[in-house]
């Protein structure tokens, strides 16, 4: 089994940053250098001690022809976090969006869920770092624009 300590969490100083931490489950922002641009990833960490045998926490499903993840957090985690994330769906971005390790189940949350997180957390009374989430969402928009421009420039170069 993969060791949590061996999982790359960031290519930058000051990361990961903690958005939510109840002493057990966490949501962190991990930041990397990508092929075209830097990118950030919202990452849910659920300790293995919360899992019962046969419990499916993140189910891969196909919605409108796209690979997605449907969350079903373990009942033993913070009830407010559980309520906020229960049955939330988001498009998978990579094959390793759900990654079991020796300490945590790592779930890389999709951007569509990230943009709804403030609403979900507020609705269910989840305590989190609001300013950090707002900054993350701003950075995500900038990162997306830089990536799109890089891809467009690459496509223009390939057409010549």
Q: What's residue 65's pLDDT?
A: 86
Domain count, the chain: 1
Instruction: Determine the structural domain holding residue 78 and report its residue range.
Output: 10-159
Domain-located, residue 15: yes
Residue 2 is assigned to a structural domain of this protein: no
How many whole angstroms separate alpha carbon 81 and alpha carbon 65?
29
Residue 5 lies in a domain: no
User: Is there a domain that residue 109 lies in?
Assistant: yes
63 and 89 in contact (C-beta within 8 Å)? yes
Specify if 1 maps to a domain.
Answer: no
Question: Considering the domain boundaries, does residue 55 fall inside one?
Answer: yes
Phi, psi of 114 (to 5 degrees): -55, -40
Cross-strand pairs, 58 = 71
What is the pTM assigned to this prediction?
0.86
pLDDT by residue (tens digit) across 95-106? 888 999 999 999
Q: Which residues have a Cβ under 8 Å from the Cβ of 50 and sit 6 or more positions away?
A: 24, 25, 74, 76, 77
């Amino acid at each position: 089994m993969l060791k949590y300590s061996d999982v790359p969490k960031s290519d930058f100083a000051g990361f990961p940053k903690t958005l939510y931490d109840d002493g057990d489950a966490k949501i962190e922002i991990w930041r990397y250098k990508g092929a075209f641009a830097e990118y950030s990833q919202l990452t849910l960490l659920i300790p293995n001690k919360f899992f019962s045998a046969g419990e499916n926490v993140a189910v891969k499903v196909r919605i409108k022809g796209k690979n997605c993840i449907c969350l079903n957090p373990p009942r033993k985690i913070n009830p407010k976090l559980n309520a906020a994330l229960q049955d939330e769906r988001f498009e998978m971005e990579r094959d390793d969006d759900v990654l079991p390790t020796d300490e945590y189940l790592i779930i890389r949350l999709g951007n569509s869920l990230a943009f709804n997180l403030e609403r979900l957390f507020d609705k269910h009374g989840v305590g989190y770092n609001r300013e950090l989430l707002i900054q993350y969402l701003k950075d995500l928009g900038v990162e997306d624009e830089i990536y799109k421009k890089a891809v467009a420039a690459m496509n223009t170069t390939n057409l010549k």
